[in-house]
Structure 1
């Protein structure tokens, strides 16, 4: 026997909770059922009241029927339901939960933001019914009027609080969504900056080494082989860092990065790459070296990397000097070269200088770039550091390494 096929209805198309009746009809149907049942029972217990006739049935139907469109026309529904209640009690029909539909409409109009209409309708209905009773020769129970007013005030106040609570939830959701969008935008900018720095550095090295290899291929094959080996190593490093960075964009890292986040501890390897590309670089340090916060360490590495990349690409320099200064409350970075100076650098239209400035500002630091005191070009950044546990006594001496 073949197995029966089970069809799963998607959540978005499943019928609503009350026997398959649409939600817009469920509440009016329940209100109508309770109203008719309780009114019929009340008519048996109140023989002095006006018998339930065609007009009475129409008045009973008006309220629940109006609730069907309560979301689209909240003001009209509350006025219509209240009018039906006034006519019902004004004509002397039995006392029953007949006003339930009007109370629900009153609450709905308040939640929809029409609390003024709801309050005026409630007060006007009570006043009209009191005058009608008095003109018809009946007795107006003022304590009863005050009790009804108090209950209707509670209903309106509950609607206002419900609306306020709903608006607060919407504001919180909107704020969370905006915060997520902001963080996503910041992450995209950070990744774009990382890609710019990685691509700029490695592609520049590959370009220089490829030129050297082509130039020396016939005259000095061994030197050309060395340049090709450098190209291979730089391209491998480029691919590794790109996979690590692009993995964040995909939301999934296929494997953990093989290298830690770059910092000043990898500066020697960076300078070796730059020297291999033909730019003689001197590294100087001042102050006592100490561990740096991860964000500062990464930013310092990237600023030095981008500065040297710009020097190789645009400045036409033959030498450069990198100074790393460890101060009490800040890390100073300074890259000087003997190139052509700011015009050749500033007219390239790139994003390197802007990216370095953003990195420094993101940490509360500063970055200056311009002509050096002895010609060439200078990039100088100051990145704030947490206060060290012990005071550092600076001697002013600098350690020079080549």
Structure 2
């Protein structure tokens, strides 16, 4: 595609040729003096200024007008001497020099018409009318072109902003999805591997002294391993967007908390589970967060608390789900409560559901986690 400078050079050459030829053809038919070499030179110079019309629009407009008026003042009335000034006016207006372009066009017309009147050239009034119309048309066309160009720029900028917004939103959603997957994997693996680790230690310790209990520990390991593999497969199926028939892991909602209590019991923690209210009516997303809070809390009990007993309370009422997990272990120093990823992950999950959560040493002994999850999220 030609560069703007090349286009302007071609335009300047075309204007010079056309105005000179028009003057040559019309010169012999006009009552005024036909142009001589000076007139042709002035027409060529006026056209030559158009080469710089994009870089210096107001200056080029003034220069072409001065040369054109000099041509007209010398009595060379024939020829399209207004072509170069008209193009310069158009360029100035489209280049956002609206006031300068309109004022220049008005001043140019005023000088030409005044010169005709002072010179007593009453017989060229029809030509003056056409010149006025020609300049006005140029001004109007320049305004329309400028408005259309600004509209197209605004549309392009709006489209670019919309595209950027879409990209940022897609990136934000991708980041949120990666974070969600990371939380799911952490919750699944941390809980189950903790149970497996404890049961493996039990089996190793009792292998010779009490083979039956050792075999029971191995059986627990086998079941937990099967469960975690199924749950991992469910997560990966979501990632692959594959709808495969096969074993579906029980829903990770309020109704799945009993299974978590059973696993914790297999890990050596006596768990008292108390589920109150209509657990089956809890929305799936709220139930999943409640499940993960209990899962992470029991994982921490198994791994860190050295507790012998834990209590899990899930209370469902008309407005919220209350989840409370408390153990009788050694607790966690206040500065270390949020040191790991588990409590931070629980906090992010609960806050994403517009809920609240506290995790702190219990009065007397142990540690307590309490989360409140609204059944209906507030409207944004």
State TM-score, norm by structure 1. 0.71
Following superposition, the deviation at residue 87 of structure 1 comes to 5.1
Structure 2 equivalent of residue 252 of structure 1: 240
Structure 2 equivalent of residue 346 of structure 1: 336
Following superposition, the deviation at residue 228 of structure 1 comes to 3.0
Return the alpha-carbon distance in structure 2 between the equivalents of residues 221 and 43 of structure 1.
Answer: 118
2:315 is paired with a residue whose SS is strand
Structure 2 equivalent of residue 103 of structure 1: 90
The equivalences for 1:1-400 within 5 A come to: 21-22=1-2, 46-47=26-27, 48=30, 53=40, 56-57=43-44, 59-60=46-47, 62-63=49-50, 65-66=51-52, 76-79=55-58, 82-83=61-62, 85-86=64-65, 89-90=68-69, 91-92=71-72, 93-94=79-80, 99=86, 103=90, 106-107=93-94, 109=95, 115=96, 118-130=97-109, 132-133=111-112, 137=116, 144=133, 148-245=138-235, 252-253=240-241, 256=244, 258-259=247-248, 262-343=252-333, 346-347=336-337, 349-373=339-363, 375-386=365-376
Return the alpha-carbon distance in structure 1 between the equivalents of residues 280 and 229 of structure 2.
Answer: 31
State the structure with more CA Rg: 2
Q: Which runs of 5+ in 2 are unaligned?
A: 73-78, 118-124
Return the alpha-carbon distance in structure 2 between the equivalents of residues 235 and 80 of structure 1.
Answer: 83
Return the alpha-carbon distance in structure 2 between the equivalents of residues 43 and 244 of structure 1.
Answer: 86
Following superposition, the deviation at residue 337 of structure 1 comes to 1.2
**Taking structure 1 as reference, are residues 217 and 32 closer, same or farther at Cα in structure 2, changes over 3 Å only?**
farther
Q: Identify which range, 292-301 or 252-261, moves more after superposition.
A: 252-261
Q: How many residues were matched structurally?
A: 349
Return the alpha-carbon distance in structure 1 between the equivalents of residues 98 and 175 of structure 2.
Answer: 46
**Taking structure 1 as reference, are residues 162 and 316 closer, same or farther at Cα in structure 2, changes over 3 Å only?**
same
Q: CA RMSD in A?
A: 3.8
**Taking structure 1 as reference, are residues 168 and 348 closer, same or farther at Cα in structure 2, changes over 3 Å only?**
closer
1:262 is paired with a residue whose SS is coil
What do residues 343-369 of structure 1 show as CA deviations (whole Å, max 9, x unaligned)?
289357202112112211111111122
**Taking structure 1 as reference, are residues 27 and 296 closer, same or farther at Cα in structure 2, changes over 3 Å only?**
farther
Following superposition, the deviation at residue 270 of structure 1 comes to 2.1
**Is the 1:287–1:327 contact (alpha carbons within 8 Å) kept by the matching residues of 2?**
yes
Return the alpha-carbon distance in structure 2 between the equivalents of residues 199 and 244 of structure 1.
Answer: 13
Return the alpha-carbon distance in structure 1 between the equivalents of residues 264 and 170 of structure 2.
Answer: 39
1:368 is paired with a residue whose SS is strand
**Taking structure 1 as reference, are residues 255 and 345 closer, same or farther at Cα in structure 2, changes over 3 Å only?**
farther
2:281 is paired with a residue whose SS is coil
**Taking structure 1 as reference, are residues 43 and 243 closer, same or farther at Cα in structure 2, changes over 3 Å only?**
farther
2:365 is paired with a residue whose SS is coil
State TM-score, norm by structure 2. 0.75
